[in-house]
């Protein structure tokens, strides 16, 4: 089957629902992820003009590498599957593009060689690739994680094992996943005296995607570690607070309702995007992208999203408080009128972030 995406045409195995069995993997649903990747590569070249080489480390059909090569990147596609490697070669040739294609395990490759930008888009968790990627990446590490249930605490033990952290299954589950993932990536990078700073991150219920800018040096790595900490969450009234530092010191009970507190962490408590970069990525989205409108909407929402570590769902709060949910804009305006910052989030149409506590939200938006 032929697929047109962005400026390229690639051959991929015939699709049968979500599963392709033994065939080389291709997921049409990830087109938004790939369009944003191409826009991020364009924006990153402006930010770091020295960057030239791009490794599509888990390439499958090579669609990411082919699209990067069409943007002028010096591309290497790698995969452990021989059929995938053949397909990558065919897809580069089909588009008359140069690039090297290698039948290699990404881990030894990243221990032996350096690339300016490395893209890890594996099945499930990216963790098995991160040690090597921290060694073999000079500038930008692009990472997808599709194991959202472990990341958000729905598969608790699997999340603990993969991410060496405690995830909690809260109503801001996708953001819990984002912050557990980035925490593990930052801690892994720090082991090699590398600071990993997220400059663009987005999440859906299917995956988390984050772009980390790497900076070498012990001081920078210490500064990154300083953004790690814990979320103290009350399941009863949805109060939550956060504390930076690797040692958790949760309150004995919820300061809002007196029930017990759940602790999640270490999580990343810092910003998950760099607003300037997000704006540049939005400007780099172009018409030929199949998901251009969605990508622009997503990036505009990310740009406006407050950098506070958790979000709320307006409908859930209103249901809990036995109120009807007002229009989202009116709801946010009420919070702002009461002196708090408030924004929508990309996690869902009824989600928002605010500097108000749950008790303050209830009061500010009450009748
Ligand atoms: C989810 S697919 C990649 C999808 C592709 N990036 C896209 O956008 O369509 C994951 C790929 O990683 C490959 N893979 C798994 N382990 C690997 C390893 N250790 N080194 C390199 N490739 C690996 C698999 O063979 C598979 O083709
Ligand atoms: Zn409470």
Q: State pLDDT tens for residues 296-316.
A: 999 999 999 999 999 999 999
CATH of domain 312-364: 3.30.56.70
Ligand 2 centre distance from Cα of residue 255 (Å): 7
> Measured between alpha carbons, how far apart are the two ends of the chain, in Å?
57
Domain with CATH 3.40.50.150 in the chain: 2-304
Ligand 1 centroid, distance to 24 Cα (angstroms): 9
Give buried/exposed letters for 255-291 (b at 16+ CB in 10 A, else e).
Answer: ebeeeebbebbbbbbbbbbbeebbebbbebbeeebbb
Q: In ligand 1, which atom is closest to the CA atom of 121?
A: 6
Cα of 20 vs centre of ligand 1, distance in Å, is 13
Query: How confident is the model at residue 14, as a pLDDT?
Result: 80
Q: Which of 179, 170, 173, 337 is nearest to 262 (CA)?
A: 170
Per run of 10 residues, the mean pLDDT along the chain (length 367 residues) is 95 71 89 98 98 98 98 98 97 98 98 98 98 98 98 98 98 97 98 98 95 98 98 96 97 97 98 98 98 98 97 96 95 98 98 97 91
Q: Say if CB 26 and CB 3 are below 8 A apart.
A: yes
Encoded tokens for 8: 């390229």
CA distance 267 to 228: 6
Instruction: For 243-270, write each residue's pLDDT tens digit.
Output: 999 999 999 999 999 999 999 999 999 9
Measured from the Cα of 59, ligand 1's closest atom is: 6
Among the bound ligands, name the one nearest to the CA of residue 258. Answer: 2
- 2-304 maps to CATH 3.40.50.150: yes
Residues within a 6 A CB radius of ligand 1: 25-27, 30, 34, 57-61, 63-64, 78-81, 84, 105-107, 121-123
pLDDT at 17: 57
CB-side neighbour CA atoms (13 Å) of 170 = 31
- CATH 3.30.56.70 in the chain: give the residue spans: 312-364
Pocket test for ligand 1, best of 65, 122, 125, 290 (most atoms within 8 A of CB): 122
């Amino acid at each position: 089957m032929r697929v047109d995406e962005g400026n390229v045409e690639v051959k991929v195995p015939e699709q049968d629902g979500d599963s392709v069995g033994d065939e080389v993997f291709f997921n049409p649903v990830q087109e938004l992820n790939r369009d944003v990747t191409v826009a991020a590569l364009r924006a990153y070249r402006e930010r770091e003009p020295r960057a030239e080489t791009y490794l599509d480390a888990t390439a499958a059909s090579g669609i990411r590498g082919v699209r990067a090569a069409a943007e002028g990147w010096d591309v290497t596609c790698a995969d452990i599957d021989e059929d995938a490697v053949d397909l990558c070669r065919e897809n580069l040739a089909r588009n008359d593009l140069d690039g090297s294609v290698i039948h290699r395990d990404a881990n030894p490759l990243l221990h032996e060689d350096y690339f300016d930008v490395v893209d890890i888009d594996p099945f499930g968790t990216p963790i098995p690739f991160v040690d090597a990627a921290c060694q073999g990446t000079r500038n930008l590490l692009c990472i997808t994680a599709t194991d959202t249930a472990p990341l958000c605490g729905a598969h608790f033990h699997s999340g603990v094992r993969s991410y060496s952290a405690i995830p909690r299954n809260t109503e801001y589950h996708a953001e819990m996943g984002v912050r557990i993932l980035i925490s593990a990536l930052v801690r892994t990078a720090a082991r090699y005296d590398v600071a990993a700073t997220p400059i663009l991150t987005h999440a859906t219920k299917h995956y988390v995607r984050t772009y980390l800018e790497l900076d070498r040096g012990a001081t920078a790595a210490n500064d990154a570690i300083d953004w790690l900490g814990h979320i103290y969450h009350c399941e009863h009234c949805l109060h939550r607070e956060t504390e930076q530092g690797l040692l958790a010191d949760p309150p004995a009970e919820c300061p809002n309702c007196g029930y017990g507190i759940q602790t999640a962490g270490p999580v990343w408590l810092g910003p998950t995007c760099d607003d300037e970069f997000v704006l540049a990525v939005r400007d780099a989205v172009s018409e030929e992208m199949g998901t251009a409108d969605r990508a622009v909407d997503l990036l505009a929402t990310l740009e406006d999203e407050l950098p506070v570590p958790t979000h709320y769902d307006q409908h859930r709060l209103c249901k809990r408080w036995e109120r009807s949910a007002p229009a989202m804009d009116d709801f946010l305006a009420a919070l702002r009128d009461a002196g708090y910052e408030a924004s929508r989030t990309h996690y869902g149409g009824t989600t928002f972030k605010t500097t108000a506590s749950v008790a303050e939200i209830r009061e500010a938006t009450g009748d």
